[in-house]
A and B are shown apart, each in its own frame.
Chain A
Amino acid sequence: MVSGNQDADAQLVERYLAGDATAFDEMMIRHQRRIYRLCYRFVENREDAMDLAQDVFIKAFEHLENFRRESSFKTWLCQIALNHCSNHVKKHSQDFVEVNEYTGSVRASAQSQLEDHEEREQFRRLLKRLPPKQKAILELRINEQLSYEEIAKISGRSVSTIKASVFFAIEKLRKLVKDASKGPEKA
């Protein structure tokens, strides 16, 4: 059974292919944030994420007539994004420097609010150190609330593999947090 969202996407695709210019904006608005955030997880900066996301939409619109409707438009779009970003990372692997910032040296402060803020900042920095694909999967699951079945379809892997990826991502993060808490010499 096709959900309401999928119906809306399917109608927008038909309208766009029929030459309805307003469908372009509607399709973009529905998916731009999701695709941008997914791309961001691979490059961790706004400019590159914007470039990648634009590439994804251009590819999608130029090949829209090849969209087979075996999956939802959202899934298809995310597939394009995942493939495009993975290829980008592979091509520019030497340009990527692992984010290794560590500023665990929070100055002693009596304000717990400041400490909480600093801890959250540190956690965010540690999150960035995960491999891009793990970050992308976490993004799709936790922020986009996609089901494991959808994520499996997007990435071309099985549900078990995706769940294992989530497990290892959280496990790695746990170790990073543990090492960070031991001090700068462990970061």
Chain B
Amino acid sequence: MKRLLNAFLFLILTRGVDLSAQRPQPLKIEADILDFYVAEFHSVVKTNPDQFTKVRTVIKDYIENRFEISARRLEMLQQLRMLVQRTNSTDEEILRATSEFDKADADLQANQAKFLTTVAPLLNPRQQARVRIFQQMADRRLLQMINSARNPEGQK
């Protein structure tokens, strides 16, 4: 176990440390994710062509916001971790970072609410109900694919 820990620490410190100070690259996969969500929406909610055209724009905004908010949230989470671990962090710094993180969480909720209220007028009640189902299903399917992508043994 000691050897494992030491090896692990060694790996972290020495391997692939070209972590230069660069901003994160925009996700090329964003287009794929958007297409996935749009297709899932169409499939689960069962929109007609007219609805599909209008809803696509709304979904695009929704997904782009999710990416942006998630990036911000993760950055704040990392910031919080570092501040909490540092002994010389001031209360003000920590409170500010906490507030930023909470704001990101709140923005996530607000984005969700905005999406639902924007698509509602475009859909009938049954379709509106299916939108809730779509969200659960799409997220879960995507999570499964992410897990498959991470696990090389799953690739056949």
- Are chains A and B native binding partners rather than an unrelated pairing? yes
Q: Please list the residues of chain A having a beta carbon within 8 angstroms of any beta carbon in chain B.
A: 14, 17-19, 65
CB distance from B155 to the nearest CB of A (A): 26
Interface residues of B in 74-108 (CB under 8 A from A): 77, 81, 84-85
Residues of A within 8 A of B84 (CB): 14, 17-18
Q: How far is the CB of B90 from chain A (nearest CB, A)?
A: 15
Contacts of A19 in B (CB 8 A): 85
Cβ-Cβ contact count across A and B, 8 Å cutoff: 7
- A65 CA to B80 CA, complexed, in Å: 10
B77 touches A65 (CB 8 A): yes
7 cross-chain CB contacts under 8 A: A14-B84, A17-B81, A17-B84, A18-B84, A18-B85, A19-B85, A65-B77
Q: Is the interface of B mostly helix, strand, loop or mixed?
A: helix
The 8 A CB mask of B51-86 against A (1 = contact, 0 = none) is: 000000000000000000000000001000100110
A14 CB to nearest chain B CB (Å): 7
- For residue A84, give the distance in angstroms from its CB to the closest CB of chain B: 18
**Separation of A19 and B86 alpha carbons in the complex (Å):** 10
Which chain A residues lie closer than 8 Å to B85 at the CB level? 18-19
Query: Cα distance A42–B85 when bound, in Å?
Result: 39
A65 to chain B minimum Cβ distance, whole angstroms, is: 7
CA distance A65 to B77 in the complex (A): 9
Q: A65 CA to B85 CA in the complex, in Å?
A: 14
- Which residue of chain A lies nearest to B83 when distances are taken between CB atoms in the complex? A18
Tell me the complex Cα distance, A65–B78, Å: 11
User: Which residues on the A side are within 8 Å of B77 (C-beta)?
Assistant: 65
Contacts of A18 in B (CB 8 A): 84-85
Give min CB distance, A12 to chain B, whole Å.
14
Q: How far is B84's CA from A65's CA once the two chains are assembled, in angstroms?
A: 12
